[in-house]
Amino acid sequence: MLFSFLWAGEVMGSERIPVPLIGVRDGIYTVCVDKSLQRLYVYNGRKKVEEIPCSTGMNPGDKQVQGDLRTPEGVYFFEKIIEGQSLPETYGWRAYTLNYPNTVDRALGKNGNGIWIHGRKLPLENRDTKGCVSLTNSDLKVLDAYLDPYHTPIITLESVTTIDEQSLDTMESLYRSFINDWLDAWQNKDFEKYEACYSPRFYDALHGQGRDGFLAQKRAISSRYGHISIFSQGLIIVGTDNYVLCYFLMDYSGDSFQSAGVKYVYLENGSEGPRIIAEEFTPLNKARKWQAVAEDLKRRQNEDIQKFLDTWRSSWEGKDLDTMKGLYLASFPDREGYFAAKAKNIAPYQSVRVILDGVDIQRSGVYWTITANQRFISDSYEDFGKKTLRLVSTSRGFRVIQEQWEKIDEDS
């Protein structure tokens, strides 16, 4: 079983949590289907809120091919709703189409289509579908409140196993650290570390290529950009018997290019820890639930820039030029000479104040341009002008790559 190597320190006697709920928090709903019990469970975070009888495929086992009458086992998302009036009456109130086969299924050569969660006309009976998950119409209406496209994971398993919460927290920490390290390597163009995150079994289903072709393509794309920045928000981690899925809002930019959407990263556990076996990406305009997460990210980005400005200004006022220099990228033009001159200029002053008014922040891809009216006040000198800072986001935070100041004549 995929998670068995993490169970050695399991705490006996503590509350039992379904293993699939690795990294989900309150307000995040997860659907788990236990085929052996013919039950569908809904969880808010790690707490069960619904238990609903269901029916799955007529034949036991994981779906492999079209027409085998099996319900697939894995993590899926619903893509669209088909109302009952557009369906044969056997499907009942409505149907939620699932993204089977997902990218892992396709890599394993599985096929078939039309796997849905749907209602029914006839009374509920165990294992009477062609592979779908079927509920009574009244229960499907209960489930509807918890489903969001490309957001709510629908996890189908032969049997849902449980584990103590402390062990599950350990698993969550492992996968969160892996994702953070992978994103840092990608953003920093550390190709050795980036490529080490991928399993030899990795398959790029979108382009029909294996690990080597995919990584060569990624390296070529990254080399075209002078700077890359990646922001992530809202990481959710769930698992099956065969893989772990980490998915989150990703804001990616390279120079003037920028895109945002939901990144799905499928992991296996190898002898050296987690490794990526597949990836998918869904544009933000298709995933309505993630719009709120995108707004949270924008607020976080603006807060981070404000914190940067506060540190930049306070280090200047405190004549702490070592800290201030650390806020400038190493490639900043003549960084050493610039700060040597700044140190010489402020050395005579006993006190320094820097006031920024009318701060404006604009973004173009990886570049964030801050303009403000800047007033510099010391015990013996004062000036006023327009300050422009051009920033890029790095794994260590925002850094200055260009700076400009233009004097403003207040008498004109």
Report CA torsion sign: 209, 211, 213, 214. positive
What is residue 6's predicted lDDT score, i.e. its pLDDT?
47
- How sure is the predictor about 7, in pLDDT bands with cuts at 50, 70 and 90? very low
Which of helix, strand or coil describes residue 391? strand
Residue 302 CA to its chain's centroid (Å): 19
CATH 3.10.450.50-classified regions of the chain: 164-288, 293-407
pTM metric for this prediction = 0.92
28-160 belongs to which homologous superfamily? L,D-transpeptidase catalytic domain-like (2.40.440.10)
Q: 189-199: per-residue pLDDT in tens?
A: 999 999 999 99
Distance CA 139, CA 389 (A): 56
Does the pLDDT value for residue 309 go beyond 80? yes
Q: Among 13-17, 110-114, 303-307, which is the least confidently predicted range?
A: 13-17
Which CATH number does 293-407 carry? 3.10.450.50
- Are 50 and 29 spatial neighbours (Cβ–Cβ below 8 Å)? no
- What is the location of CATH 2.40.440.10 in the chain? 28-160
The pLDDT confidence band at residue 8, using thresholds 50, 70 and 90, is very low
Burial class (CB within 10 angstroms; exposed 0-12, middle 13-18, buried 19+) of 192 = exposed
The residues pairing with 370 across neighbouring beta strands, listed in sequence order, are: 361, 389
Chain segment 262-281, per-residue pLDDT in tens: 999 999 998 889 999 999 99
Per-residue exposure over 313-329, b if at least 16 CB sit within 10 Å of its own CB, e if not: bebbbeeeeeebbebbe
- Which pLDDT band holds residue 15 (cuts at 50, 70, 90)? confident
Sorting pLDDT into bands at 50, 70 and 90, what band is 410? confident
Mean per-residue pLDDT, 23-36? 97
Q: What is the mean pLDDT of the chain?
A: 94
Burial class (CB in 10 A: 0-12, 13-18, 19+), 13: exposed
Euclidean distance between CA atoms 384 and 410, whole angstroms: 8
Which element (helix H / strand E) includes 283?
Answer: strand 273-283
Strand 29-34, strand 154-157: pairing? parallel
Residue 382 pLDDT exceeds 50: yes
DSSP 10-22: --TTSPEEETT-S
Rounded to whole angstroms, the Cα distance separating 296 from 236 reads: 15
State the Cα–Cα distance between residues 14 and 6, nearest whole angstrom.
Answer: 16
Of 212, 275, 213, 203, which is closest to residue 243 (Cα–Cα)?
275
> What confidence score (pLDDT) does residue 191 get?
96
Residues 96/116, Cβ–Cβ less than 8 Å = yes
164-288 folds as Nuclear Transport Factor 2; Chain: A, (3.10.450)
Q: Is 280 helix (H, G, I), strand (E, B) or coil?
A: strand
Half-sphere exposure of 216 (CA within 13 A, CB side): 6
CA–CA distances in Å: residue 389 to residues 321, 335, 369 = 17, 14, 6
195 Cβ contact list (under 8 Å, min separation 6): 215
